[in-house]
Amino acid sequence: MEQLIWPLVAAFAVSVALGPMVLPILKKLKLGQNIREDGPQAHLAKAGTPSMGGVIFLAGGIIATLLFSRGNFGWPLFCILTTVGYALIGFLDDFIKVYMHRSLGLKPYQKMAGQLGLAILITVFAASSPEIGTVIYVPILNVYWEMGWFYYPFTVFVIVGVVNSVNLTDGLDGLASGISVVVCSTLAFIAYSIASELSGLGLMGSAENYRNLAVFGSAMAGGCLAFLRFNSFPAKVFMGDTGSLALGGVVVIMAILSRMALLLPICAGMFMVSTISSIAQVISFKYFHKRIIKMAPLHHHFELCGVNETKIVAGYIMVSVVLCALTLAMVL
């Protein structure tokens, strides 16, 4: 368990130390968040809050991953490249929002093209890896399913879906970062358990890969935990799309490398709620001309119903803890 604790502690320490140094820079560069006028009125007071703060926990997580990974660095580097790749798409989105004063950032097709391109590269890498292939774990049945060619479109769909789910969830102070602490910790523990099992079978090379994957997840959880110091209500900084798209990459790459993609609707369920509520709202309004909730994603609906922002965040995190506990019970 020390192999999970120390990366978390190191990432936490680095991110906490970086925060006070990064915040003045973001303010000096005038990287303030533009707030949508059609959103909850309480959010208008947040206009000008520095964005792109995701660099704080990303730096801490990446540094800790590099410090504590051992042996073959293939998986840790791939996880980092995936994270940085989605962070760069988010950075472009944030840059356009701030400097071109366009609240929606990149055009949808531009963002989707970048996300799909990365998703395809990740899928090809996973399918060509001896430890992964085109196999996924099926919970409840406790079997591994050889998906064959269907693995490719399925995995691309999962990657793009999860990345956007995390992005949609980043709408309240501390919401996405708080849930990510729980989800990343859970996926790290699953990877560590797989490593222990493989080590017991004498498959030391594969065990090392999963142990490094656990280090990566633990480090990112530590970085997100530290980020709450600056991002919890009232937020001193927002992670921006730089952070939220990167976090989506973190969550999904861990699930794919550990063959646990089918567990994401459970352990990352509160991220999925954002996407499902948004899609349902669009479909209902387009075809029936009615809104099923006051505003999508769901957390904004609760705001408009008068629920305090901090209570919504706390509720989402508590439900995530329950869902992740259920996930561990199904796997371990």
Count CB neighbours of 150 within 10 A: 11
192's CB contacts (< 8 A; 6+ apart) are 1, 3, 4, 210, 211, 214
- 233-255 pLDDT tens trace: 999 999 999 999 999 999 999 99
- 178-198 pLDDT tens trace: 999 999 999 999 999 999 999
- 128-177 pLDDT tens trace: 998 899 999 999 899 999 999 999 999 999 999 999 999 999 999 999 99
Structural tokens at position 271 = 């991220």
Give the pLDDT band (50/70/90) at residue 96: confident
CA distance 297 to 165: 10
pLDDT at 33: 62
Structural tokens at position 152 = 């490719």
Structural tokens at position 202 = 């004498």
Structural tokens at position 241 = 């799309």
Q: What is the largest CA-CA distance in the chain?
A: 60
Which pTM was predicted? 0.95
pLDDT over 80 (residue 69): yes
Domain range summary for the chain, segments of one domain joined by +: 2-263
